[in-house]
Chain A
Amino acid sequence: MHELKDIAELEELKKDYFISDLSVRTSDGTIVLYIPVEHVSEIAKTGYVSRRQLDNLSCKLAEKYGVPIAVLVISSPKFEKIAQAAELLLKAKFSDILEEANFSFLSSEKVNVWIKLNQLTDDNTFQIESYLQTILIESGINFLSCQWVDDNAPLPTPINVLIALKRLQPVNIERLIGYFITDYRDVNGKWLNRQLDKMIKKQLIIRDKISGNYALTGNGLGMIPAIRSKNNTDILRALELGKRKW
């Protein structure tokens, strides 16, 4: 196993790559490099080290010394303070809707924010996201990603609609709404009707004019991926058909 003193270039590397600490794991000889997030950037620039540069460094050291290298980007007091300040500002401005906000910095320019609101609407999310962008950009954080904490997604995607049709077909729109309503908070007849019309135009589904029931075409069926799990659409379809009809 290598010892840190064996690695002659280490002092220079520490300076060039903003390594705040390093250690060798006795369990497997891995050299662990710790880099504060405030020095990590998305692209290479003066005063920072990019993710790509860190990946290259890991490969170079692993090859040279024949040991695994682990790079750990650690939090820094500066960014913890930025997170606290941003959360306070958010809570002050959106006190009536904001329940919680947690910040995860992926680099000095990129943050993922988990936000919980008591009223999740498009208007609220837009306002909060715009406000966050304005206050974070002052600290050089240009890449903001918001994750809205919510049990239910707003609307199903078109592929979800096709999967539901495969399971339930032939099915009318009322039953489809009933199927989606528990998992998607904004689903309604007008929206679903529009989605189904688009799919008819793309020849993915057909609608029986007399019964009003929808069913998949061969093209529509071909869009649904085969997955090996209990959620496989063939299994779900078979179980649906096997349900006792009263």
Chain B
Amino acid sequence: MQYVGDELERLALGQGDETNSDLLGRSAFNRYYYASFLITRETIKSMQISPKFVKHAEIPIILQEGLKKKAKPRLDKLVREGLMDKGTYSRLLTDLNVVGNELAELLQHANDARVLADYEPEIKTERDGSLIKLKDYKLTTAKVWPSKARQLCGRLLRIWRDIGLA
């Protein structure tokens, strides 16, 4: 997905025709969103937070609420049994909250850009040299969504491993 996004961006930048450049550029936003979405969905699956197939709109809710719901009883048990101190307990809960919210926001922004790209053809992409923009979203920012999502997912998995759930 990331590769396809990069190629579409390259083609959009090299395309002289405005209409074709717009079509290629907006498709790149779509691919970058899906790359981030699939990375996150795979992580959520391996964290066993939601057993069913996760839909796009559900992911931010899972990240903002579902993670804490699953981790907190486990953390409480570890503290109760003396296997974790209060400092580590609150650090892990804070990290889970902060990282979950950051990933949720990333996906919400990426999805907003993807919906604009897919369903609002009258809103055209704009070119400023080698910068492609769709409304306020820059393609240079969209390009880092997948790697950022991977980094955030990696941190969530580490927290999951620290509490014995992965």
Contact = CB atoms under 8 A, between A and B. Distances in A.
A202 B119 CA distance: 60
Contacts of A25: 115, 119-120
27 contacts: A25-B119, A25-B120, A26-B119, A27-B115, A27-B119, A32-B112, A72-B108, A72-B112, A73-B105, A112-B99, A145-B98, A147-B98, A149-B151, A153-B158, A153-B162, A157-B83, A158-B78, A159-B163, A159-B164, A160-B162, A162-B83, A198-B82, A223-B77, A225-B164, A227-B165, A229-B46, A229-B48
Interface residues on B, range: 35 or more
A106 B105 contact: yes
Interface string A68-80: 1010111000000
B82 A202 contact: yes
B132 to A, nearest CB: 18
Nearest to A104: B102
Nearest to A195: B83
Interface string A155-185: 0011110110000000000000000000000
Contacts of B119: 25-27
A73 B64 CA distance: 15
Interface residues of A, number: 34
A112 B103 CA distance: 11
Contacts of A153: 158, 162
A219 to B, nearest CB: 8
Across chains A and B, which 9 residue pairs bring their CB atoms closest together, nearest first?
A159-B164, A27-B119, A158-B83, A145-B98, A157-B162, A112-B98, A104-B102, A112-B102, A25-B115
Contact of B166 (A72, A114, A231): A231
A25 B161 CA distance: 39
A227 B84 contact: no
Interface string B36-64: 00000000001010000000010000000
A106 B101 contact: yes
Interface of A: 25-27, 32, 68, 70, 72-74, 104, 106, 110, 112, 114, 145, 147, 149, 153, 157-160, 162-163, 198, 202, 204, 223-225, 227-229, 231
Interface in B126-164: 136, 151, 155, 158, 161-164
B93 to A, nearest CB: 11
A158 B84 contact: yes
A147 B99 contact: yes
Contacts of A70: 108, 112
A227 B166 contact: yes
B94 interface: yes
Contact of A114 (B78, B115, B118, B151): B151
Given A106-B105, A112-B99, A224 B155 contact: no
